[in-house]
Structure 1
Amino acid sequence: MKIGIFFGGPSREREISFAGGRTVYDNLDKALFEAVPVFVDSSGNFILLNWEFIYKGTIRDFYPPVSALPASRVPVQLYFESLGELSPEEQDRIISEVGRRVEPRELATLIDFAFLALHGPGGEDGAVQGLLEWYGIPYSGSGILPSAFGIDKVAQKKLLKALGQPTPDFRLITAEEWDAADPEATLSYLVRELGLPLVFKAPRQGSSIGISILREADVAQFAAAIERSLFRKTVTQTEWQALSDAQKISWLQRLVDIREGIGLPVILELPVASDQLSVADEPSSTANRQPATGNRQLIYRPEELLDALNERLATADSVRLTSVEGESQVLVEGFVQGREFSCIVLEDPNGQPLALPPTEIVKGEEMFDYRSKYLPGLARKITPIDLPEADIERIRQQAQMMFATFGFQVYARLDGFIQAADGTIFLNDPNTTSGMLPASFFFHQAAEIGLNPSQFLTYLIRTSLAARRRAGLRPVKLAAQLARLDAAVAARAAGEQQRIKVAVIMGGYSSERHISVESGRNIYEKLSSSVKYEPVPVFLTGSSAEFRLYVLPINVMLKDNADDIREKIEHHEAGHETHPILARIRQEAHSITSTYAGQTATQPRQVSFEELAGMVDEVFIALHGRPGEDGALQQRLEKLGLPYNGSGVASSQVTINKFDTNRRLREAGLRVAGHRMAARTEWEADAESFFRALETQFPYPFIAKPADDGCSSAVKKIKNRAELEAFTHLIFRDQEDLLPADATTLSLGFKEEFPRKEAFLVETLIDRDGAAHFLEVTGGLLTHWGPDGELEIEVFEASEALATGEVLSLEEKFLAGEGQNITPARYAPDPQERQRISEEVKKELRRVAEILQIQGYARIDAFVRVRSNGEVEVLIIEVNSLPGMTPATCIFHQTALAGYTPYQFIDRILEFGKQRTEQQQAVVAG
């Protein structure tokens, strides 16, 4: 069956939709389905996307393509809408670089079914559902009416009120009312009617976009909250002129971010009296689409906005910026003080709602915002919510009732709160299309009944076909499709025992453990949806003295992060039984799991290395840092004759240590930064001498980082003595918790990991040094056995890494929608010159691999200087022998350019490891 995956779209959630669409694309069972990627751009064009672009980190990394981007002095990647009004011919030219435009009438010839991974307006509001019904194409999720209802928070609240269901009291403020209002009087009214805190929402947005909480009666904060929900921003002359040029750029970057700012295009207008406003001044009016005159100006691009702000605020006291896709009203609610949860409700095979175990969202005072939702480790998800069994069952019953009342179909995600005082349950903000990232609630809760992502998607496609047939969409045709799918699912289950078993080892105990879990899950999902491999998830914990291995059931593997997985293992080892609610739901879901999973979820099980060798045919190590990249695990596997991915023992022992790696490369004549190790014993003996010695050898600013951790963990640009002292105190600290004053000095991010070490690496800061062009790159490679048994090294086109801060952050490397990686790297505007420089860089990266005897695959980070005479200098930063394999990492962008899908790349890595083991065994036998 050809499954069209619709992703992207015009909404502010398009990056999460893009990442979710990739998850669906990768996890569709290849034995049952053929995935057809249908990217929807912000103008609503359907694009049959070339598969390699699916693996870009963000939409802006490929669309619009570089050839369509105007020259800009402001470092902000643009979305399609910033190109302005384009003719159909201009749009077709741009689209042709990434795929081809598909007219709606063509869809029925290309796909049998539409899987909708779109979010927000244009995706889950009934619009695309109506179009698909017009052409007779079955689709996933709810139909037209429940979708339209599911996106409208105001309509939902009115219905809940009418039905007497608990929902926080609310008021609506329209944009016109706000423009004419006295902010202080309005705030007093809302506080009197609803109390504090107040919650402000954009009524037709998801992913916590446009949401604020006001905890005190502060008029300035109140006005900012209203503006956030209307997607407006008032800028005063005083605040603008107080910013430096660099700060203005940074401010602009935040403003045009469609998730946390207001995006582009915007209307810039000077203040006008409220009695001068007309309908044409409304932000959502089509008048906004026309070039502005007088006090109103339509602005598409960042540098235009920068120039306009500089010009207008030279004379005006303030200006107002309004997104052309802003909201026309704000929903203001009373704050619910309670435990926050999220519950997925499915249709069972009989079309009845079945609530999965509700998940509690545990966080501090901060709001559960976009970043907390999608970056592992920032907010914890506890399933089921830690409440008495009767309360959990009440949440489930109310969720099922809302599902039925609103007429939802197939599945929905319902969020809510339960009050501690009286147990009142408030349900709000239903989502007819849940986020589909690997660790989202969607897959997280399905795993609790024993379905892995691939199996869950199969069930949803089958259930959606049945729902569309019940609703009268081409019943005879869909009956035949259902029969064929049921037969294929049964045949797939019968062939399950013939696949190659691969242990995917993830986790560990380093500061990189969360990213390791993300990598491991991604490998698991790529293999589980394949015809060839059957992955076995294995979690490694313990210490360098003793590894402990646990085979994980799918529900534990899909916990939010490594710490949650470890806690679940410890909970089981302490003798705790399965939660009664989970046991009940698994029984209720037996008709689903018996068909699609074969067996229900079990508990984690500790295994020895010897037992593991008896269970699997080979191993994929998804660990980062120690253990994993240091050769210790490889040694254990070699003794058991288990093939594994990546470099061998000797090479891994070198590349794990950045100091040893750089020393070897320098001795071989390659360029590296000046470096030395700074030991705790030196610091303890005489702290002042320790600091002076470093300052003498390394003028500020310089780089300080752990010698044997990667993933940007604790990599800091040290600019003065205070930062050096803070870094030293943190890395040499005795307690686990961070030292607050030192963390503040280093501007550590929320819940940022900072490892403890006995020594750290200090390096000269690599800078432009007068070069005509200077950029940071990361390049992947893959090794093959040649016909004569010699090792061949394939070096991919490197990616250019753009850091928004002083160094690349964890989020920029691994979080979907965050990092800005341009592949291939932009070494020069001229294509021939760019390729010449690229070949020089690849030659140096190949030398690194040869010197360090890298095998399998690796990622090498470097800086590149291009001198005015064309000379190319490559300065190596570090080598990762087991690079991150998260869905958004740029190594997949590079392999796509070389023609490998992520699955094919992983398959080559596994095949290489198997051939290496066969060669080693042949040598021993000979």
Structure 2
Amino acid sequence: MKVGIFFGGQSREREISFAGGRTVYDNLNKSIFEAVPIFIDSFGHFILLDWQFIYKGTIRDFYPPVEFMPASNNPIQIYADSLTDLTEEEWDQLISKVGKKLTPDQLTHYVDFAFLALHGPYGEDGNIQGLLEWYGIPYSGAGILPSAIGINKIAQKQLISQSGFAVPRSRILSKTDWDKNNKEKIYEVLKAEIGLPMVIKSPHQGSSIGVSILNDDDVSKFEALIQKSFFIQVINPSEWKSFSEEEKIKFIARLVDIREGVGLPVYANELLINTPDALINYLNKQEDEVQLKALQTEDQLLIESFIEGKEFSCIVIQDENGNPIALPPTEIRKGKDVFDYRSKYLPGISRKITPINEDLDVIENIRRSCSSLFKALQVNVYARIDGFVGKDGQIYLNDPNTTSGMLPSSFFFHQAAEIGLNPSQFLSYIIRTSLAERLKSGKNHRSIQQMIIQLDEKLQALKTQEEKKINVGIIMGGFSTERHISVESGRNIFEKLSSSTKYFPIPIFLTGNEAKHELYVLPINIMLKDNADDIKEKLSDFHVHPVIEQIKFECEDITQKYAAHAITEFQKIAYSDLVDKIDAAFIALHGRPGEDGAVQTELEKLGIPYNGSGVESSQVTINKFETNEKLRKHGILVADHQLIFEEEWNQNKDTVIQEIEEKLSYPLIAKPADDGCSSAVKKIKNREELEAFAGMMFRPEAQFIEELAHVLHLKRNEEFPQKTFFLLEELIEKKDAAHFLEITGGLLTHFDANGKIQYEIFEPSEALASGEVLSLEEKFLAGEGQNITPARYTKSLSDYEKVANQVKETLRKTAEVLSIEGYARIDAFVRIYDDLRAETIIIEVNSLPGMTPATCIFHQTAINGYKPYDFIDKILEFGMKRIQKTSV
């Protein structure tokens, strides 16, 4: 069955749609479905996307293509929305760079079924559903009517109330009333009717876009939040002119972010402005206040009273008879008032507790309420329903979503795992149930019936397959600051392998400490807990909640049909037990343990093949100081550096500081010497910040020292390890080079005919940091980082090759000097001079690089023709060949 995955779109949620579409593309069972990527751009063009672009970090990384981008003096990426002057012929040329333009009537030639991963207007509002029905293409999820209701929070609120469900106090504020009336009077009326805190919502947005909470009795703050939800921002000219050029670029980057700011194009005092450069130039000339207003805005806002209590989210699905079944509701524990974009999609920021920590009768009441609302709104197939349990025990339901987010960490997969379905199996269930639902419409009855029969035959064949697969133990977690990203990497590897016909993945969680590693085989529901700490907590007090038992019973027919050979219980094991359980290991750990050779040592004792470099190489690359020293001895450029030890610092801090300042000059880069993932990497601009960094690194207790954290501008929940030493490096700068950029380059190793290792160096990505250093979010959060692949060394192709070859040669030499095997990621800065001479300064080497869905190593492998599964397959094959050579 050719499954067209519709993703991207025209809404402010297009990046989450893009990332969710990639998840669906990767997880569809390859023995049943052929995934067909249908990307929808900002203007509604349907594009049969070349598969390589699916693995870009963000839409802006590939669309619009660089040759169609307006000339710019800043690194801010734009969407195609800004290209308002292209002719139809120019659009055709642009689209041809990334795929094939399709008209709606051509869709039937390419897809049998449409899987909708679109969010917001045009995707969840019935528009695309109506178009697909017109052309006779069955689609996933809810039909036209429930979709139209589900997109409008105001209509939802009225229907929820009319159906007898409790709702918070609410009022509607129109843009006309806001513009015409006194702001203070509006505030006083709403405060009297709604009270404080009050919730301000843009009614047609999802992913918490345009949602704010007013806690303080402050009319000016109220006005600012109202403007934010209308996607309006007022710029004070004196404040603007006080910014440095760098601060202006950062300000504009936030302002034009479609998730939090007004976006682009934008009306500036009614003048339409399309690009960041034009906006900066315009603001530089203004003497009076400027109002910026988005093209994508709202005509009304929904103002609600704040509900004190526990927030939850519940996925409701249908059984094969069309009856709703509410999966276990998840409690959301946030680090701030609003469960915002960052909290939703970056692992480790918020906590998801499944089921919600409430009495059984309360949980069952939530499930009954969600199922009843599902029926009342005539939703079908599935929905995500959010709500609150008030402090008085009252259940409030709000915001039914007819298309749930589909990132690996989303509620969609998180709750399905509780009944034993992995993402691949759950997607098969959604497709089968959607076909049955479309059958009820009476349209295209014969063809849909035939599709259902063929799909059922395939599903039955899967259950009876006895073919031998290679059992791969995926080791994830750990106990370092990188444990959450490790879990995200491990889950991604699991999902890529679970939809294959070659491998059977077995998730293994590692915890404990340096002295003693503890290993656990995980069932799917525990593996898909929100982060490493949630998994560890669940293992320390493992029991099956009675509600989960009940839901498993209710879903028994579903799990028996879709979840063959599932691991259903966790098991504590020793390394020695792995011999009987797995044929190979994929170490998805980052930092210590994993990249330090400790796990590799244990696997080698057992003769189990594994991914990545061997023990000795890992022991060097885990230590950034030793790596720098070894590379420098072989003539490879690295930053000037110095190790700072706790004992010396505490004994004579002033002397240590004096030595540092004599050897290195501010600003400096301070970082842990044996951690990665941008954990605790800070730009140190003066002595106060140096002392704060050392104080935090050498702190005696795990909790932050508040005054030091304040000096370093640490975020809440930011990972900052305790160490006995750390590394200081010179800040690598442009100097007299013509061009300067930060890159990250991946590689893959192969054995040639003589058994010698050959290095395949990928085209590096150019990493654009929005802050002083590349952040955790920019590296691993879908839609967040800006990575240009290949890196932009030069403008001409012939000059590019000359520079690129020099850079690749340095990366190759680095890998050879450090005896890297399998695969790796190497971070570096590149200076390019007028004569095209390139200096590549190595920053860091990761022997087990992050393998999250959004990491840029997949952008690089795609250029060389590897889909993520193919890349993982090559990594595993190398590990298995290596152990065969060793044993011989």
TM-score for the superposition, normalised by structure 1: 0.95
Within the alignment, does 1:150 sit opposite 2:150 as a pair?
yes
- Paired residues of 2:213 and 2:337 also in contact (CA < 8 A): no
Structure 1 residue 365 displacement after superposition = 4.0
CA distance in 1, matches of 2:146, 2:773: 46
Instruction: Determine which of 298, 318, 322 is the counterpart of 1:327.
Output: 298
| Residue 478 of structure 1: aligned partner | 448
Q: Which residue of 2 aligns with 1:785?
A: 751
| C-alpha contact (below 8 Å) 1:665/1:671 kept by paired residues | yes
State the match for 1:185 in structure 2. Answer: 185
1:317-337: per-residue Cα shift (whole Å, max 9, x none)?
A: x22111111111111111111
* 2:725 aligned with 1:754: no
Q: Secondary structure at the match of 2:388?
A: strand
Q: Measure, in 2, the Cα distance between the counterparts of 1:764 and 1:303.
A: 32
1:776-807, Cα deviation, whole Å (9 max, x unpaired):
11111110010111111111111111111111
Question: In the TM superposition, what is the alpha-carbon distance from 1:242 to its structure 2 partner?
Answer: 3.4
Residue 249 of structure 1 is matched in structure 2 by 249
Cα drift, residue 609 of structure 1 = 1.3
1:449 is matched with which residue?
419
2:796 is aligned with 1:830 = yes
Query: Partners in 2 of 1:718 and 1:147 — Cα distance?
Result: 51
Mapped partners of 1:511, 1:579: distance in 2: 30
How far off its partner does 1:90 sit?
1.1
Q: Take 1:365 and 1:807, find their aligned partners in 2: how far apart are those partners?
A: 24
Find out whether 1:409 has 2:380 as its counterpart: yes
- Whichever residue aligns with residue 79 of structure 2, its letter is Y
Give the distance between the partners of 2:585 and 2:598, measured in 1 at CA. 14
Partner SS for 1:342: strand
Q: Which residue of 2 aligns with 1:418?
A: 389
After TM superposition, give the deviation of residue 696 of structure 1 in Å.
1.4
Please tell me whether the aligned partners of residues 469 and 475 of structure 1 are also in contact (alpha carbons under 8 angstroms): yes
CA distance in 2, matches of 1:797, 1:364: 38
Q: Secondary structure at the match of 1:498?
A: coil
Q: Secondary structure at the match of 1:12?
A: coil
Q: Is contact 2:142–2:382 with CA below 8 Å preserved after alignment?
A: yes
Q: 2: CA distance between counterparts of 1:864 and 1:690? A: 31
| Structure 1 residue 809, shift from structure 2 partner | 0.5
What's 1:582 paired with? 548
- The SS at the match of 1:672 is coil
In structure 1, the partner of 2:236 is 236
Q: Contact between 1:593 and 1:599, CA under 8 Å: does it hold in 2?
A: no
Task: Look up the equivalent residue of 1:489 and give its one-letter code.
Answer: L
| Aligned residues of 2:8 and 2:18 also touching (Cα < 8 A) | yes
Aligned equivalent of 2:579: 613
Q: Return 5+ residue gaps in structure 1 as ranges.
A: 270-295
Which residue among 428, 433, 440 is the counterpart of 1:458?
428
1:651 to 602, 606, 617: 617
Unaligned runs of 5+ in 2: none
Please identify runs of 4+ aligned residues in structure 1 that moved more than 6 A: none
Secondary structure of the residue aligned to 2:560 is helix
Q: Provide closer, same or farther for how the CA distance between residues 601 and 795 of structure 1 changes in structure 2, counting only shifts above 3 A.
A: closer
| Separation (CA, whole Å) in 1 of partners of 2:240 and 2:872 | 50
Distance 1:56 1:641 in 2: 37
**1:605-629 CA-partner distances (Å, limit 9, x unpaired):** 1011121110111000000011111
1-side partners of 2:487 and 2:23: how far apart? 16
1:359 equivalent to 2:330? Answer: yes
Matched to 2:218, the amino acid is: D
Q: What letter corresponds to residue 348 of structure 1 in structure 2?
A: D
Q: Does the 8 Å contact 2:17/2:405 carry over to 1? A: yes
Q: CA deviation at 1:598?
A: 2.9
The answer to whether the aligner puts 1:632 opposite 2:598 as a matched pair is: yes
Corresponding residue for residue 346 of structure 1: 317
Name 2:363's counterpart in structure 1: 392
CA contact (8 A) 2:75 2:768 kept: no
**Secondary structure of the structure 1 residue equivalent to 2:321:** coil
Structure 2: distance between partners of 1:161 and 1:856: 59
Deviations 1:183-224 (A, max 9, x none): 111000001111111111011100000011111221111111
Counterpart in the other structure of 2:562: 596
Q: Give, in whole Å, the separation in 2 of the partners of 1:78 and 1:531.
A: 39
Q: Aligned pair in 2 of structure 1 residues 365, 882: CA closer, same or farther (>3 Å)?
A: closer
Deviation (angstroms), 1:160: 2.1
The match for 1:884 is: 850
Contact persistence 1:449–1:600 (CA under 8 A): no
Post-superposition Cα deviations, 1:19-76, rounded to whole Å, max 9, x if no partner, equal 0000000000001100000000010000000000000000000000000001111321
AA at the equivalent of 1:692: Q
Where does residue 168 of structure 2 map in the other structure?
168
Aligned residue type for 2:239:
E
Identical amino acids, percent of aligned pairs = 58
| Counterpart Cα distance in 2 of 1:370 and 1:794 | 37
d(CA) in 1 for partners of 2:196 and 2:466? 57
The residue that corresponds to 1:282 in the other structure is: none
In 2, Cα distance between equivalents of 1:64 and 1:52: 15
Question: Which residue pairs with 2:62 in the alignment?
Answer: 62
Q: Residues 650-701 of structure 1, C-alpha deviation per residue, up to 9 Å, x if partnerless?
A: 1111111111111111111111111121111101111111211111111111
Whether the 8 Å contact between 1:450 and 1:599 is mirrored in structure 2 is: no
| Residue 325 to residue 365, structure 1, CA distance change in 2 (3 Å) | closer
Corresponding residue for residue 123 of structure 1: 123
Question: CA separation in 2, counterparts of 1:742 and 1:209?
Answer: 32
C-alpha distance after superposition, 1:686-734 (max 9, x if no partner): 1111211111111111111111111111111111001000000011111
2:49, 2:99 within 8 Å by CA — same for their partners in 1? Answer: yes
What SS class does the counterpart of residue 147 from structure 1 fall into?
A: helix
Taking the aligned partners of 2:5 and 2:274, their CA distance within structure 1 comes to 30
Shift of residue 237, structure 1, vs aligned partner: 3.0
1:163 & 1:905 partners in 2: Cα distance?
51
1:780–1:894: 8 Å Cα contact kept in structure 2?
A: yes
Q: Which residue of 2 aligns with 1:745?
A: 711
Contact 1:772 1:866 in 2 (8 A): yes
- The letter of the residue matching 1:711 is C
Residue in 2 aligned with 1:467? 437
Partner residue in 2 for 1:800: 766
Match of 1:277 in 2: none
Please state how far the C-alpha of 1:496 moved relative to its aligned partner. Answer: 5.5
Aligned residue in 2 for 1:909: 875
Q: Secondary structure at the match of 2:429?
A: helix
Mapping for residues 537-576 of structure 1, pairs under 5 Å: 537-572=507-542
Deviation (angstroms), 1:245 = 3.0
Pairing 1:377–2:348 present: yes
Preserved CA contact (<8 Å) 2:237 2:283: no
* Distance (Å, rounded) in 1 between the aligned partners of 2:597 and 2:160: 59
Q: Indicate how the Cα distance of structure 1 residues 369 and 822 shifts in structure 2: closer, same or farther if over 3 A, else same.
A: same
Local SS of the residue matching 1:676: strand
User: Greater shift after overlay, 603-612 or 392-401?
Assistant: 603-612
In the alignment, does 2:860 pair up with 1:894? Answer: yes
Q: Give 1:258's aligned residue.
A: 258
Aligned counterpart, 2:13: 13
